[in-house]
């Protein structure tokens, strides 16, 4: 595996940090998830109130291939366990609000005394310094402050947040990318690195093309208006969603002459002289009138024949039957405690293969005893710390998990 032999100790919760750690875990890193003794927040909350036999869907989406240890970081014994873990690590990750980890005794300086070549990665809402540093950070808040909400939505509904936690997920990917760069630097130079990511920066990064066009063009916010149903404010028509007799299709970039021929439409042929950016609403109106005369399958045949870039508009319940997604093994069917469910696989393929599902810690501290033994604790000392609740441990529950 790509990161075999790399240990990552993750003090992360919610989504941005756990997602970053999961990317590394999927690539083979030994990721240790440090949880409070009563469990990480994401075990107790889930979107749409989805739980699989008591296991949160929110937890399951970003915590595979990690070993779990429960530690009370407010107890002296618990902090000592954490320090030993940190001493054994190549990477430490945390996404507490800035300053919280330091107040627990784990400032960057303190960590480097334990492990001088450590890679210290932190994620936050708005960065560790600056006027917003202590504000609560969350995906929706970052979407709003980064301007993303202002450029989505419809003319009727106005600005609308994106319907998934894309800033959290992208922030996780960016943090993992930074950690990988730091690992290469450490291998080459023997130096540790401070890697810092934030939701706000991730939200801005998502919009690089749009923002460069906006500022380079010295434009004003009026250009961002949602008068058109096109997908972005900066693309020329037909870039958007169009009706069919039995649903909707997406039309992206194409030669307008090809599109007019594909649909055999006089109004589109006459529109060839339009400036498809300045007159984008008029062009889109004509195209909507043309596409709604056909079914999606009829449009597919015509568009494919004439090299029109298009896609069907899929809903979530269409995805499992999509032939390309099936071929690419994008989803993984597993059984959790006898209940079937679907996970989203790691997005990359390595030598043609999908990273395996090695472990999914269903219980808090499934690997506490195993990890503490690796750190040099004897059996009696481990049980004393479990009894004092400095650490939390449960029996391994791997019998409750299998991949279909």
- Residue numbers annotated as active site: 168
CA gap 148, 107 in Å, rounded: 33
Residue carrying structure tokens 């915590």: 63
Rounded to the nearest 10 degrees, what angle do helices 256-263 and 296-305 cross at? 130
Q: In what order do the strands lie in the sheet with 66-71?
A: 194-198, 119-124, 91-94, 7-11, 30-35, 66-71, 391-392
Query: Does residue 204 have a cis peptide bond before it, meaning omega lies within 30 degrees of 0?
Result: no
Q: State whether residue 113 is helix, strand or coil.
A: helix
For CA atoms 392, 396, 398, 401, the dihedral sign is negative
Length of the chain: 404
Q: Report the distance separating Cα 240 and Cα 231, nearest Å.
A: 5
Residues 93/8, Cβ–Cβ less than 8 Å = yes
Our CA dihedral for 177, 326, 162, 64, rounded to 10 degrees, sits at -50
- Cross-strand partners of 90: none
Structure tokens given for 46: 């889930």
Tell me, what DSSP letter sits at residue 355? P
* Sheet hosting strand 240-244, strand order edge to edge: 240-244, 247-251, 310-312
């Amino acid at each position: 595996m790509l990161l075999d032999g790399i240990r990552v100790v993750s003090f992360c919760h919610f989504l941005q940090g756990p997602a970053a750690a999961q990317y590394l875990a999927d690539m083979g890193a030994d990721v240790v998830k440090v949880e409070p003794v009563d469990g990480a927040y994401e075990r107790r909350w889930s979107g749409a109130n989805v739980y699989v036999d008591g296991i949160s869907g929110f937890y399951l989406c970003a915590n595979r291939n990690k070993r779990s240890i429960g530690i009370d970081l407010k107890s002296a014994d618990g902090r000592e366990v954490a320090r030993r873990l940190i001493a054994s690590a190549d990477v430490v990750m945390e996404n507490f609000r800035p300053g919280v980890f330091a107040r627990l005794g784990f400032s960057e300086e303190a960590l480097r005394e334990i492990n001088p070549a450590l890679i210290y990665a932190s994620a936050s809402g708005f960065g560790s310094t600056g006027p917003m540093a202590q504000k609560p950070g969350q995906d929706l808040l970052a979407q709003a402050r980064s301007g993303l909400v202002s450029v989505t939505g419809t003319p009727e509904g106005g600005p609308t947040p994106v319907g998934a936690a894309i800033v959290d997920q992208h922030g996780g990917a960016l943090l993992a990318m930074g950690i990988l760069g730091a690992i290469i630097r450490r291998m080459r130079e023997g130096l540790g690195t401070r890697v810092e990511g934030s939701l706000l920066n991730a939200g801005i990064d998502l919009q690089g093309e749009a923002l460069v066009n906006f500022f380079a063009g010295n434009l004003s916010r009026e250009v961002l208006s949602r008068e058109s149903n096109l997908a972005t404010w900066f693309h020329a028509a037909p870039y958007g969603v169009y009706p069919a007799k039995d649903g909707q299709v997406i039309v992206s970039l194409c030669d307008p002459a090809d599109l007019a021929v594909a649909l055999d439409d006089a109004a589109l042929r006459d529109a060839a002289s339009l400036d498809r950016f300045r007159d984008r609403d008029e062009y889109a109106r004509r195209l909507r009138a043309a596409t709604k005369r056909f079914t999606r399958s009829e449009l597919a045949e015509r568009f494919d024949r004439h090299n029109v870039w298009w896609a069907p508009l899929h809903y979530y319940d269409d995805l499992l039957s999509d032939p390309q997604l099936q071929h690419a093994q994008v989803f993984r069917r597993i059984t959790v405690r006898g209940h079937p469910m679907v996970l989203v696989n790691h997005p990359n393929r390595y030598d043609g293969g999908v990273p395996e599902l090695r472990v999914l810690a269903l219980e808090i501290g499934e690997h506490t005893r195993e990890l503490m033994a690796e750190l040099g604790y004897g059996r009696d000392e481990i049980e004393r710390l479990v009894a004092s609740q400095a650490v939390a441990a449960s029996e391994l529950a791997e019998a409750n998990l299998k991949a279909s």
